Structure 1
Amino acid sequence: MTKPLSKSTSDLPANSPPNALKTSPATGSLSNPLQAWGPLGEYMTDALQRTVLFWDVLRLRSDQYYAQKAKAVPHVLSFDAELVLDGRTFERPVNYLLVRVKPPAGVTINPQQRPFVVVDPRAGHGPGIGGFKADSELGVAMRAGHPCYFVGFTPDPMPGQTIEDIMRAEAVFLEKVIALHPDAEGKPCVIGNCQAGWAVMMLAATRPELFGPIIIPGSPLSYWAGVEGQNPMRYTGGLAGGSWITALTSDLGNGKFNGGYLVENFENQNPANTLWAKNYDLWSKVDSEGPRFLEFEKWWGGHVNLNAEEMQWIVDQLFVGNRLATAEIVTSDGVRIDLRNIRSPILCFCSKGDNITPPQQALGWIVDLYAKDDDIRAGGQTIVYAIHDSIGHLGIFVGGGIARKEHQEFATNIDLIDVLPPGLYEAVMTPKTAGMAGAELVTGDWNVRFEPRTLDDVRAIVQPDPENERRFAAAQRVSEINLGLYRTLFQPFVQATINEQTSEWLHKLNTSELPFVLFSERNPLMQQVAQLAEQIRQQRQPVSVDNPLLQWQGMISDGIITALDSYRDLRDSSMEKIFLSIYSSPLLQALVGLRAGDETPRQRPGVEPERIAFIQQRIAELKARIAEGGLREAGIRSLVYIGMAGPGVDERAFNELRVIRAEHGSITLDEFKQILREQFFSLLLDRDGALAAIPKMLPDDRAARMQMLDAIRRTVNAIGTPSGERAERLAQIEKLFGAVGQSEQDSRMAG
């Protein structure tokens, strides 16, 4: 059993000097011959001092790296947490852990609210990014009153663990969370960040009963998707000849895949930042930038390993194979992973500024799985997407000011998301204003509305292209051939020459590890750097802001960044041209077995006869029960009917319903969700019949009818006075609710 995780985010190693990273102006004159050189001498003095201080920050980064590496469970959570379950003790052990996150001071948790479970990505970095800052996913959820849990992992995998083992362990984690919150309204909301998103979706497809709403920020699910001229990362596998390079890398690691290689892939997307801007920003502002730099590097440099089998499965099945979105993955016990089996709402949060998981890869699975809008509704699936205009990949789930509004609205409106009728929606957020109708019903600073969308809307974003799929299908088959050749001809030799010692030396020489070695105190020269940096902090002489050389410094830096950006653009365009020229070749496609007449080489999940029979049976049941139900069902049917004429489902209307529910009823959220879905389908299948049945569902008690009608009016008016078709539908419902009263009056007159 491991110790509970404890709070530690930006704390420096214990052996750091007490005033590390803090600088102050010189308190006395410093004899410096460079001062006689005027602005040049002033700038050179400052530049030399900054350089030494820069080296010292790199030394502190190395010390921090090794201090983190020495921990049993290194992480970057900014919250205290306690261990709940340790996957290393399971029958099929995995290096995953479930912890309960303790709320910070001043935050009150409501035990009746559904728990949130944040699952961090094991994509090269260590765990904790979902709780890295106070405004991150965990912080926002706790401020909304939700109990929170976190699923993290240790740096090294357990021997023999597989992706399926991890899925089963995460199922046990969710069962435990559900058991710990028997009175919670709804199943846990699960957030799968980045690469954890596909893992969460796979589990939800096989164990749908464990899930409440699923949020997948920056998660790739359709790996071939993208737009020509953009998204060059998707070409990497094909240009490398496929996944044989993954097998070679794992063999050189003696059966383990170093997560540092995955981090290098991310860094290669922006060479200007990796090779220059990141270090230049630290060097140029070393007096103030050190703590922020160290805080981020604590996570970015905390690399973790994967088993060779795990990484090979990920590359073959997902990155190169792209089998998840077309239900081609089958587990070892014969269960087909079909994302259409997910019964919880799925919320895809992506960004146009994300060069790791662009919107095409985050949303492409929707058009891969479904051909018609009715297919989504018939399957009872609810899909919501939100697209940010500019935020980068890490900002999607790190938190902070940029994505705070999205996380805040998702957390505070998670119950509304859970009861949305089946279909496809976009989350649209508008600022809350004092003059807004029903402003008191808006929980945060933004009002969220879930507007209906169609598959054509998603296709306009994803831009699917059959020719593009033929190219990637050819790359997939080339990958399979090359992997077979490597395993037959070269793998036995590589495995025979690699042992634990050689793999360790190769790891130390890796570009992701070597800088930590060079700037650590293991290098004797760094002790002198630390002492010199301490002296400089006592006699710091920063350059004046109007020094012309300081302005030239910025201009030179901008020029270097421009040059590196130009190199990146040339590299990316060249990669694309090479990939297209190779894999667009009809000869190559024919050689790997792709037939020229095929509209698409990729399997599309069809509608199986048993699924068709189930849907037809369900339709018949709903039609037979259109007139069943009482006042409650009639009221919800009326609200759904009026809402269908509006721009979407608004949080203000839902929050008004919360108030009404608290005043009158004992209906649970699950009961409300079930009734709402049945009434929605009744209107969808036979609108006229469903409306005509409303008077028969109403009681004779006129006061009860009028009370329900008042609740309907309050809910409709929560987003403003209805107009147009919404006003017409409200008037139609008012007549239907008065129909019973009129018949009563007619009966009395006849008597």
Structure 2
Amino acid sequence: MASGWPAFRLGQDIWDYWLDAWQRGVLYLDVQQQRSAGYEKHAAKVAPHVLKFDCELVMDGRNLERPVNYILARITPPRDVEINSKKRPFVVVDPRAGHGPGIGGFKADSEIGVALKAGHPCYFIGFLPEPVPGQTIEDIARAEAAFLERVISLHPHAEGKPAVIGNCQAGWAVMIVAARKPELFGPIIIAGSPLSYWAGVRGTNPMRYTGGLLGGSWLTALTGDLGNGKFDGAWLVSNFENLNPSNTLWSKQYNLYSKIDSEGARYLEFEQWWGGHVLLNAAEMQFIADELFIGNKLVSGELISSDGARIDLRNITSPILVFCSKADNITPPQQALDWILDLYDTVDDIRAHGQTIVYAVHESIGHLGIFVSGSVAKKEHDEFASNIDLIDVLPPGLYEAVLTPKDPKGLAADLITGDYLVRFEARTLDDIRALGGNDANDEREFAAVARVSEINLSLYRTFVQPWMRIWTNEGLAEWMRRIHPLRLQYETYALLPTLTSAAAYVRETRKPVSPENPLWQAQQRFSHWIASSLDTYRDARDQTCEAVFHTVYGSPVVQALTGLNAADHEPRSRPGETAAHSFLVKRRIEAIKRKLTEGGAREAALRSLIYIRMPDGDIDERSFNFLRQMRKDAGKGLSLGEFKTLVREQYLLLLLDERRAVAAIPTLLSREPELAGRLKSTLHRMIDVVGLESDVAKSRLAEIDALFEGGVRARSAPKPPAREHALLATVRPMRRGHVSRTPKHH
């Protein structure tokens, strides 16, 4: 009997494995049929979306003077969520990048979900699957501005303008609107959004080479013509899927098959959004390809609206929070952040424009996870929503958001609203450069791509497009959309016999195989081998494409034929400064310096706090909660906007003339001695909780204590370098009728 046992065990393992494999196969096909049925049902809706929250229509973009297929909806909060009408509203804008709307509210733990949990009214800007004939990207920007105006009118008592979240492709659209209508925006959060389209690191960001390898945007025009004036968003989804063939061709489906007992519901939920393909007008897609992804005109100041206005991101006055990830191969950190390097030479340049820029870099989440992942929603997005007022009050400059786990037993843990302590640490442009980026040769190659694209597009429009438009029609366009590979897979599974009854029987008699089964383990190893092989193919493909790109567009002959001068250090234009802005900065500095001795104990306490904390270079939510208390103790009923202005003015006074600003503190305190005593106590409580890291900060605390005591003059100290000159030096007059090409200093 002992000699027969191994054979019996092997036979049992084989039977268990094949029974499990058959059952998994039936359940897998049943899920795929449910997916196909769900696709048809979803596509048949008038306004398909994947929002998991109830909502009501507020504005229909089709009724505007320049109609668009966008809508504004108000999110109905769940019954267990209480909304504070005085809190600023949140507006989530979803990307129109091939998929349908709703991913920002895809689940309870989402951008909309965490904003509701924080007590904010929430709105959603989505879109219909069919574009309005003739609508343009500029029309959409006007519509989004009108939507924000309506939101503001519905919340007249809110403390602050709406916080706007732009996901992926919606990020650059939101930034364009904010540059044209800065007065409509509170803090702006752009998640996984490309703004500097040429940027990247050699060997890691292959998608940015696609335009050059295809010869520019002529193929976009051809696709739009074949679509009878419409561009099929399924092609954009295909581009995303082609980046990772192992996941697209194998891992995603195998993950469903191998975890069929638990993965089906999540798979179907995600696929409803992933398969909800929408259409764009051909002109919209052409604008995106020519002006943004290939032309890179958003950060060079070359994007001009129909009324002749230049789109300049430096016009944005609201804080901008950029959320990106090192593992994002669609919008890598360089494309999300290098617009800052494109527009500014120093942090003082950022301050001269009155801008506050915060960035957060995730280490491992993929592109979709930035705005889909529940773990990201419960951490990053939750903390951003909870601390949105702190972000709005940050002084001008560049910061990195750093999240550390909350210690429930730590000092002042009750001042931390979520599960993480959020700190905003001061950064310089060198911190962004340290992430990697293009050199001058890379810039020249992408500039050559842009010019080749213009030539090829012009040739296509002259010699091919007229003939294409003669024989294309809506019937052909619809047929081509139906046979797109991404849509055919739904049709294929729908043609199979219905397996509902068989799947129900399998679920009743289900016998999952043991993970110790040798055949199951062999299957797992085989799956890993397939995925690894496809990854090897992907890496070889990407390396080949990159090598071809650099060989072709790095050629001096190609560059010369496209008109690039070898003597040019900067192959592309950069936005310059106007004399008007230089004049306004000078007037603003003069106006701020006149406030050196204006105010009382409240201004003195804020100035003192900023002066003490400046050497440590970070601000966290505990500090802000103490500032809230200081604002309350002042007893003057400051609104959040007035409080923000006050904090920024005191910060700029210290930047412009630190010695005189500190020396004026006793004068301010003497006007309100009783309030000064209370505020000193508040200031010390905050310092005790937050702590001081540097010796300079500790010595400044002693200096401020002496000033608060009165009668003790501030210790003499070497006069710091004049910051007024530093701020003004960043303002360079623009040559008349031309965009300046001032070299960057890397």
- The normalised TM-score by structure 2 is 0.92
Tell me the equivalent position of 2:427.
Answer: 453
Q: CA deviation at 1:495?
A: 1.6
Q: 667, 677, 682: which is aligned to 1:706?
A: 677
1:616 aligns with 2:589: no
Q: Which amino acid aligns with 1:627?
A: T
Where structure 1 has 5 or more consecutive residues not aligned to the other structure, the ranges are: 1-33, 744-751
1:317-716 equivalences in 2 (<5 Å): 317-520=291-494, 523=495, 525-527=496-498, 529-665=499-635, 666-716=637-687
Tell me the equivalent position of 2:705.
Answer: 734
Distance 1:674 1:545 in 2: 62
- Kept in 1, the 8 Å contact 2:109–2:377? The answer is no
Distance 2:242 2:10 in 1: 44
Q: CA deviation at 1:266?
A: 0.6
Post-superposition CA distance 1:217-241 (Å, at most 9, x none):
1000001000001100000010000
Distance 2:463 2:638 in 1: 66
Q: CA deviation at 1:538?
A: 3.9
Mark the CA change 1:558 to 1:692 in structure 2 (over 3 Å): closer, same or farther: same
Distance 2:419 2:408 in 1: 11
Q: How many residues align?
A: 706
Aligned to 1:519, the other structure's residue is in SS state helix
- The normalised TM-score by structure 1 is 0.92
Q: Which amino acid aligns with 1:146?
A: H
1:71 aligns with 2:42: no
Mark the CA change 1:726 to 1:435 in structure 2 (over 3 Å): closer, same or farther: farther
Aligned to 1:293, the other structure's residue is in SS state helix
1:293 aligns with 2:263: no
RMSD value, Cα: 1.8
Tell me the equivalent position of 2:21.
Answer: 47
Mark the CA change 1:675 to 1:48 in structure 2 (over 3 Å): closer, same or farther: same
Aligned to 2:630, the other structure's residue is in SS state helix
1:206 aligns with 2:180: yes
Tell me the equivalent position of 2:203.
Answer: 229
- Kept in 2, the 8 Å contact 1:391–1:403? The answer is no
Post-superposition CA distance 1:171-218 (Å, at most 9, x none):
011001111111110000000000000000000000000000000010
Q: Which amino acid aligns with 1:689?
A: R
Aligned to 1:461, the other structure's residue is in SS state coil
- Kept in 2, the 8 Å contact 1:355–1:392? The answer is yes
Distance 1:725 1:541 in 2: 68
Distance 1:430 1:261 in 2: 40
Q: CA deviation at 1:35?
A: 13
Post-superposition CA distance 1:570-590 (Å, at most 9, x none):
000000000000000000000
Q: Which amino acid aligns with 2:697?
A: R
- Kept in 1, the 8 Å contact 2:175–2:313? The answer is yes
Aligned to 1:596, the other structure's residue is in SS state coil
Q: Which amino acid aligns with 1:110?
A: N
Mark the CA change 1:142 to 1:581 in structure 2 (over 3 Å): closer, same or farther: same
Distance 2:115 2:531 in 1: 38
Distance 1:649 1:437 in 2: 16
Where structure 2 has 5 or more consecutive residues not aligned to the other structure, the ranges are: 1-7, 715-746
- Kept in 2, the 8 Å contact 1:35–1:41? The answer is no
Tell me the equivalent position of 1:25.
Answer: none
Distance 1:721 1:509 in 2: 65
Q: Which amino acid aligns with 1:502?
A: L
Distance 1:479 1:499 in 2: 26
Tell me the equivalent position of 1:165.
Answer: 139
- Kept in 1, the 8 Å contact 2:615–2:694? The answer is no
1:81-96 equivalences in 2 (<5 Å): 81-96=55-70
Aligned to 2:324, the other structure's residue is in SS state strand
Q: Which amino acid aligns with 1:274?
A: T
Post-superposition CA distance 1:28-85 (Å, at most 9, x none):
xxxxxx9996433332232223222212211110100011111111111111111111
Q: CA deviation at 1:553?
A: 0.7
Distance 1:439 1:533 in 2: 51
Post-superposition CA distance 1:454-474 (Å, at most 9, x none):
111111124331111100000
Distance 1:435 1:723 in 2: 25
Mark the CA change 1:208 to 1:462 in structure 2 (over 3 Å): closer, same or farther: farther
Out of 678-687 and 531-540, give the one that drifted further: 531-540
- Kept in 1, the 8 Å contact 2:445–2:553? The answer is yes
Distance 1:537 1:683 in 2: 70
Mark the CA change 1:239 to 1:332 in structure 2 (over 3 Å): closer, same or farther: same
Distance 1:643 1:548 in 2: 62
- Kept in 2, the 8 Å contact 1:438–1:720? The answer is no
- Kept in 1, the 8 Å contact 2:616–2:694? The answer is no
Q: CA deviation at 1:659?
A: 2.7
Q: CA deviation at 1:721?
A: 6.3
Aligned to 1:393, the other structure's residue is in SS state coil
Distance 1:199 1:482 in 2: 27
Q: Which amino acid aligns with 2:439?
A: D
Q: CA deviation at 1:135?
A: 1.2
Out of 249-258 and 395-404, give the one that drifted further: 395-404
Post-superposition CA distance 1:275-320 (Å, at most 9, x none):
0011111122222221111011010011111000000000001111
Out of 643-652 and 221-230, give the one that drifted further: 643-652
Tell me the equivalent position of 1:145.
Answer: 119
- Kept in 1, the 8 Å contact 2:89–2:161? The answer is yes
Q: CA deviation at 1:543?
A: 2.9
Out of 242-251 and 613-622, give the one that drifted further: 613-622
Query: Identity over aligned residues, as a percent?
Result: 59
Q: Which amino acid aligns with 1:391?
A: I
